[in-house]
Amino acid sequence: MSGERASDRDGHEHDDHHGHAGAGSELSEMDLRVRALESLLVEKGYVDPKALDALIETYETKVGPRNGARVVAKAWADPKYREWLLEDATAAIASLGYSGRQGEHMVALENTQRLHNMVVCTLCSCYPWPVLGLPPVWYKSAPYRSRAVIDPRGVLAEFGVKLGEEVEVRVWDSTAEIRYLVLPLRPVGTDGWTEDQLAALVTRDSMIGTGLAKVPESEMLR
Amino acid sequence: MNGVHDMGGMQGFGPVAPEADEPRFHHEWERRAFALNLGMGALAQWNLDQLRSARESLPPAQYLASSYYQIWVEGLIRLMLEHGLVTPQELADGKLRDAALPVPAALKADAVAATLARGSSVERTLARKALFAVGDRVRTRNINPASHTRLPRYCRGKPGTIVRVHGAHVFPDSNALGAGEQPQWLYTVRFEAAELWGPDTTATTVNVDCWEPYLESRSSGNDPASP
């Protein structure tokens, strides 16, 4: 079925063991097509290849979920910052140096013992670039986009997350230019931790709402 | 448009498949396709809503069979052809035939950081006051425009409650048509999941950003279905 294949192809060839005779040649065809396209656009003077390199380098090496982890850790450690983040996320996040493209209008969503927030973009792939970087393939894929709004607990189970029945599951479909960052629940056993220590517990998925923050090793032994 | 991109609530796509230690890009062409989209976008020949519309109006079978960055390539090509920035012949053999159109100068490497940091706010000032406030009971309109819209099918004609007022934002439905930004008040509307899906859901609520033209009041007593 083409839909199933679409999700696999989004995942690319690492799990593509289904005898796609054309898969390899199709990929190299894309390589050739995009290469030809780029050289045409460079020749026309529409794009500068050095600028393209800089764009790629930015999102491959500079912008990623460690930014968001800094935001979350600070909110956990500093009640005033947490309040500001929940009140005006765009300004609070910009104060740490994370702002701009695809993060112009930020909203932070706080998880509690009784409330779990989860973010999706059913229509495309909207995602808060300045704090999380570019979205992973699964976030942009048909399985996640189709199911997050109707069966979030089923999706969470696929991420190994099981929430109690008493927990309210609140899904946010980012259909506009508002970009959402989940403020995950602070793990127990982290009293007095520094922001650096706390940031190490914050995963990308916990800030999308498909995961939880990591549990400290001391708690895992209990 | 009731396109295949509007996937909320569809079934049969299988499980979500997270990849451990996923790289940012899986192929060199994905890197270049990503950057070409941003680089060409910097020429401001089309807006964000036109870009999304171009990707989302690919034929459904092609959309579903394409990877994410393949869709980006197809959308970009469609827009460049529409705007006459390249010709079909040039795309076919990669050979330059027509001179470049008079567009702004290409984005330079040393301007990349500042351009990204500046971003592109879509908030606008609007003299008209917001029709709704937090707590207001609303209903989404039952609309099915053949052109671009951001109101997903699964939440059309549904009762909800305003939980946030964001300000006036560029209205994608007009902006995608090149009919101007026509800013509208933007709200987050909370829907009880059972109102959207009946008993077949594990969500408690679903919260969707809706522009004012998507909404009507349901506090006037013309809504027998809700208490």
Q: In this predicted model, what pLDDT tens digit does every residue of A77-99 receive, in sequence order? A: 999 999 999 999 999 999 999 99
Whether residue A104 sits in one domain with residue A190: yes
Interface test with B, best of A123, A169, A204 (most B CBs within 10 A): A123
pLDDT, residue A15, reads 41
Q: What is the rounded average pLDDT of the residues A135-148? A: 98
Confidence at residue A220, expressed as pLDDT on a 0 to 100 scale: 73
How far, in Å, CA of A86 to CA of A64, rounded?
Answer: 21
Provide CB contacts within 8 A for B21, sequence distance 6+. Answer: none
- Split at pLDDT 50, 70, 90, the class of B220 is low
A16 pLDDT above the threshold of 50? no
For A192-207, the DSSP string reads T--HHHHHTT--HHHH
Looking at the structure, do residues A167 and A86 belong to the same domain, yes or no? yes
Distances (CA, A) of B78 to A29, A58, A61, B135, B184: 18, 26, 30, 42, 28
Question: Is the pLDDT confidence value at A74 over 90?
Answer: yes
Name the band, by pLDDT with cuts 50, 70 and 90, for residue A121.
Answer: very high
Ranges for all domains in chain B classified under CATH 1.10.472.20: 28-118
Q: Is the pLDDT of residue A13 over 50?
A: no
Question: Position A216: which residue type?
Answer: P
- Residues A152, A169, single domain; the answer is yes
Q: What is the pLDDT, as a whole number, of residue B30?
A: 97
- Residues spanned by CATH 2.30.30.50 within chain B? 123-217
* Helix (H) / strand (E) containing A218: helix A217-220
Query: What pLDDT is recorded for position B219?
Result: 78
Are residues A180 and A98 located together in one domain of the fold?
yes
Residues 6+ apart with CB under 8 A from B170: A177, B49, B122, B124, B181, B182, B183
Shortest CA gap A9–chain B (Å): 6
User: Strands, DSSP E only, in chain B?
Assistant: 123-124, 137-140, 159-169, 184-192, 205-211, 215-217
Q: Which two tokens stand for residue B59?
A: 């034929």
Q: How many domains would you assign to chain A? A: 2
Looking at the structure, tell me whether residues A42 and A98 fall in a common domain: no
| Last residue within a domain, chosen from A60, A77, A110 | A60
Q: What is the mean pLDDT of residues A53-71?
A: 97
Other beta carbons within 10 angstroms of residue B135's beta carbon come to 8
**What topology is assigned to B123-217 in CATH?**
SH3 type barrels. (2.30.30)
pLDDT reading at A152 higher than 60: yes
Are A212 and A155 contained in the same domain? yes
Residues A148 and A88 in one domain: yes
**Cβ-defined contact of A149 to B27 (cutoff 8 Å):** no
Contacts of A158 (CB under 8 A, 6+ apart): B15, B16, B18
Return d(Cα A65, Cα A73) in angstroms, integer: 12
**Quick one: angle between helices B28-41 and A23-43, nearest 10?**
30
Residues of B in contact with A7 (CB under 8 A): 13-14, 17
Nearest CA in chain A to B111: A51
Residue A120 has pLDDT above 50, yes or no: yes
C-alpha dist (Å) from residue A4 to A8, A48, B56, B171, B189: 6, 38, 19, 33, 32
The maximal CA–CA distance of chain B, rounded, in angstroms, is 66
- Contacts with B36 from chain A: Cβ below 8 Å: 34, 37-38, 41, 47, 52
Largest distance between two CA atoms of chain A? 64
ipTM of the shown complex = 0.95
Residue A1 has pLDDT above 60, yes or no: no
Q: Which two tokens stand for residue A203?
A: 């995963």
For chain A, percent of residues with pLDDT exceeding 90: 85
Distances (CA, A) of A82 to A180, A190, B3, B89, B161: 15, 17, 39, 56, 26
Last residue of a domain, one of A60, A82, A102: A60
Of A60, A79, A106, the residue that ends a domain is A60
Residue A218 burial (C-beta neighbours within 10 Å; 0-12, 13-18, 19+): exposed
Q: What is the CATH number of domain B28-118?
A: 1.10.472.20
* Residue A52 sits in the same domain as residue A103: no
A126 carries an active-site annotation:
yes
Q: Where are the alpha helices (DSSP H) in chain B?
A: 28-41, 48-56, 60-65, 68-82, 88-93, 112-118, 172-175, 193-197
Q: What is the pLDDT of residue A20?
A: 41
- Specify the pLDDT at position B120: 94
Mean pLDDT of B48-66: 97
pLDDT-wise least confident of A192-196, B24-28, B151-155, B220-224:
B220-224
Query: pLDDT band at residue A24, thresholds of 50, 70 and 90?
Result: low
Q: What mean pLDDT comes out for the span A190-213?
A: 98
Task: Say yes or no: A51 and A154 in one domain.
Answer: no
b/e sequence A11-20, b meaning 16+ C-beta within 10 Å: bbeeeeeeee
pLDDT band with cut points at 50, 70 and 90 for residue A18: very low
| B175 token code pair | 């902006």
Query: Which pLDDT belongs to residue A34?
Result: 96
User: In A, which residues are within 8 Å of B24 by CB distance?
Assistant: 59-60, 64, 133-134
Domain around A46: 2-60
pLDDT score of A3: 37
A170-188 confidence digits (pLDDT tens): 999 999 999 999 999 999 9
Which of the residues A25, A39, A124, A218 is marked catalytic? A124
CB within 8 Å: A35 and B32: yes
Residues of A in contact with B50 (CB under 8 A): none
- The whole-number average pLDDT for the span B134-150 is 98
B162 has a pLDDT exceeding 50: yes
Q: Nearest CA to A59 among A11, A124, A121, A130? A: A130
Residue A212's CATH number: 3.90.330.10
* A71 and A107 inside one domain: yes
> A–B: how many Cβ contacts below 8 A?
297
- Note the pLDDT tens digit of each residue in B81-96: 999 999 999 999 888 9
